[in-house]
């Protein structure tokens, strides 16, 4: 069996290239939510670059002048709340060299043919404490490279990292200032009233879930969007169509009792609902996990257009449920019920800006989250299909071994 070798330089801290403000900044209650405290890992694979590590290192330092909180460290306020200390310590950065071309590892398409630890940045545990972000640039013998990123979701998730990386790209291409200047603004998000929590802590069930990746072509998606317009007289989004297809295919594959509850959850942005208080350039967490529920029989037997309608109706309720959440209504708490096999949680990465990051040699061949197996949550990611394909790549870990073949068959059946 061939052994692939990646040689890493020692991790170094890349701080802002100019002086930046000091002091501590508050995080919003959305940033501080316990479900938001996890490390997001992703890879961004490029076909060609000329000394990309050197270019990106310098561009990152310039970008951190504007996104200086990302160069800071998490801290705890006098009130015991999570906040960011703007220390200017910097982002951990690793440069690496691979002794093989990208094509030898299938261009790093999933499942990976090498260890993810080879292409993601890691530092000693004592240095990792309270770090906001880490980055690694690995150069391959073919001239291609991959940018591996690890970041704490509390700083803003994919949208926050996407905003920073867009500025890194702009600095790499010679811009003196970012096209959209970042703004903190997290103090503008009100803290909700705290509901009384009763009862024992939730119990999480272990699940053994299989990974699957399927590309849904754009011509199929557009055909369904046009059909929805004809039948319902309303527009629907690419996300609506693909989510309906995934939810129905999964429900049918699971062969549940018709009365069993099935749910699909996704983070709906609430930035537009708070446009009067949030500044332009805001890059923090600002969303509400919407959940659509229906009996398995209804989801499995409905037309796909009816499933799209269920999703659209849930999205139309966003302002109502979000307002109740801010008011402290426990029934509007999106995290009140523990996940089970009936729940599918979906993240849409197709519009966070990762796929458009061009350092000067073209957009990435593909972008992918690297998600460790989560035995407590059935999950899925929507990405742009790798070029030259047009459409959505659906990456899931949401069905057991007994159901994965049926799920794949139904998901790839494009009638």
The 10s digit of each residue's pLDDT in 140-158 is 999 999 999 999 999 998 8
Q: Are residues 228 and 364 in the same domain?
A: yes
Q: Which of 330, 225, 221, 314 is nearest to 267 (CA)?
A: 314
- What's the CATH code of the domain at 93? 3.30.559.10
Q: How confident is the model at residue 374 (pLDDT cuts 50, 70, 90)?
A: low
Q: What is the CA radius of gyration of the chain?
A: 22
- The neighbour count for residue 412, using CB atoms within 10 Å, is 11
The reply to whether 198 falls in a domain is no
Q: How confident is the model at residue 368 (pLDDT cuts 50, 70, 90)?
A: very high
Q: How far apart are CA 232 and CA 242, in angstroms?
A: 17
Q: Is the pLDDT confidence value at 198 over 60?
A: no
Q: Are residues 163 and 276 in the same domain?
A: no
Q: Are residues 258 and 127 in the same domain?
A: no
User: What is the reported pLDDT for 3?
Assistant: 79
User: What is the reported pLDDT for 388?
Assistant: 87
Q: How confident is the model at residue 263 (pLDDT cuts 50, 70, 90)?
A: very high
Q: Is the pLDDT confidence value at 25 over 80?
A: yes
The reply to whether 201 falls in a domain is no
116, 370 in Cβ contact below 8 A?
Answer: yes
User: What is the reported pLDDT for 375?
Assistant: 67
Question: What residue numbers bound the domain in which 111 lies?
Answer: 6-182
The 10s digit of each residue's pLDDT in 163-172 is 999 999 999 9
Q: Are residues 245 and 105 in the same domain?
A: no
Stretch 273-293: mean pLDDT:
94
Mean pLDDT over all residues of the chain?
Answer: 93
Q: Are residues 148 and 12 in the same domain?
A: yes
Q: Are residues 126 and 244 in the same domain?
A: no
CA distances from 316 to 62, 268, 309, 319, 327 (A): 41, 11, 10, 7, 19
Q: Are residues 23 and 154 in the same domain?
A: yes
Q: Are residues 387 and 277 in the same domain?
A: yes
The 10s digit of each residue's pLDDT in 295-335 is 999 999 999 999 999 999 999 999 999 999 988 888 898 88
Q: Is the pLDDT confidence value at 58 over 90?
A: yes
The reply to whether 192 falls in a domain is no
Please state the domain count of the chain: 2
The 10s digit of each residue's pLDDT in 68-114 is 999 999 999 999 999 999 999 999 999 999 999 999 999 999 889 99
Q: Are residues 177 and 116 in the same domain?
A: yes
User: What is the reported pLDDT for 285?
Assistant: 95
The reply to whether 214 falls in a domain is yes
Q: How far apart are CA 370 and CA 116, in angstroms?
A: 8
Stretch 368-378: mean pLDDT:
80
3-class DSSP state of 5:
coil
- The neighbour count for residue 142, using CB atoms within 10 Å, is 15
Sign of CA dihedral 128, 131, 132, 133: negative
The reply to whether 39 falls in a domain is yes
Q: Is the pLDDT confidence value at 220 over 90?
A: yes
DSSP 186-224: GGGSPPPPPPPP-SSPP-------EEEEEEEEHHHHHHH
Catalytic residues: 153, 358
Q: Are residues 139 and 223 in the same domain?
A: no
Q: Are residues 214 and 168 in the same domain?
A: no
User: What is the reported pLDDT for 351?
Assistant: 85
Stretch 10-14: mean pLDDT:
97
What's the token pair of residue 85? Answer: 């200390």
Stretch 276-298: mean pLDDT:
95
The reply to whether 188 falls in a domain is no
Q: Is the pLDDT confidence value at 197 over 60?
A: no
Stretch 355-375: mean pLDDT:
89
Q: Are residues 178 and 307 in the same domain?
A: no
Cross-strand partners of 97:
7, 139
The reply to whether 312 falls in a domain is yes
Q: Which of 392, 400, 381, 404 is nearest to 158 (CA)?
A: 381
């Amino acid at each position: 069996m061939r052994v692939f070798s990646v040689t890493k330089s020692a991790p170094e801290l890349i701080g802002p290239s100019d002086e930046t403000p000091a002091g501590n900044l508050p995080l919003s209650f959305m940033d501080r939510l316990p479900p938001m405290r996890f490390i997001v890992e992703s890879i961004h694979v490029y076909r060609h670059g000329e000394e990309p590590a050197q270019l990106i290192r310098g561009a990152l330092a310039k970008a951190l002048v504007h996104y200086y909180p990302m160069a800071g460290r998490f801290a705890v306020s006098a009130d015991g709340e999570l906040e960011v200390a703007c220390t200017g310590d910097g982002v951990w950065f690793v440069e690496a060299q691979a002794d093989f071309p990208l094509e030898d590892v299938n261009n790093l398409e999933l499942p990976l043919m090498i260890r993810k630890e080879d292409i993601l940045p890691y530092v000693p545990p004592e240095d990792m404490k309270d770090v906001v972000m880490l980055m690694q640039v690995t150069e391959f013998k073919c001239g291609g490279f991959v940018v591996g990123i690890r970041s704490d979701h509390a700083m803003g998730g994919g949208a926050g990292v996407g905003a920073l990386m867009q500025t890194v790209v702009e600095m790499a291409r010679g811009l003196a200032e970012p096209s959209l200047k970042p703004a903190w603004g997290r103090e503008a998000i009100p803290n909700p009233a705290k509901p009384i929590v009763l009862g024992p802590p939730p119990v999480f069930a272990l699940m053994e879930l299989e990974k699957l990746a399927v590309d849904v072509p754009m011509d199929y998606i557009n055909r369904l969007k046009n059909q929805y317009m004809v039948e319902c007289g309303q527009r629907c989004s690419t996300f609506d169509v693909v989510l309906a297809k995934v939810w129905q295919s999964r429900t049918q594959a699971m062969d549940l009792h018709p009365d069993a509850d099935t749910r699909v959850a996704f983070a709906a942005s609430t930035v537009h609902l708070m446009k009067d208080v949030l500044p332009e350039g805001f890059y923090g967490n600002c969303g509400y996990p919407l959940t659509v529920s229906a009996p398995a029989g209804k989801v499995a037997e409905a037309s796909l257009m009816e499933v799209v309608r269920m999703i659209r109706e849930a999205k139309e309720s966003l302002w109502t449920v979000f307002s109740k959440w801010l008011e402290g209504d426990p029934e509007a708490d999106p995290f009140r019920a523990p996940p089970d096999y009936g729940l599918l949680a979906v993240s849409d990465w197709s519009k966070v800006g990762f796929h458009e990051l061009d350092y000067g040699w073209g957009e990435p061949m593909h972008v992918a989250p690297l998600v460790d197996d989560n035995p407590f949550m059935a999950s899925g990611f929507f990405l742009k299909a790798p070029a030259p394909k047009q459409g959505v790549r659906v990456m899931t870990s949401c069905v057991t071994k007994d159901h994965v073949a049926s799920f794949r068959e139904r998901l790839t059946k494009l009638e």
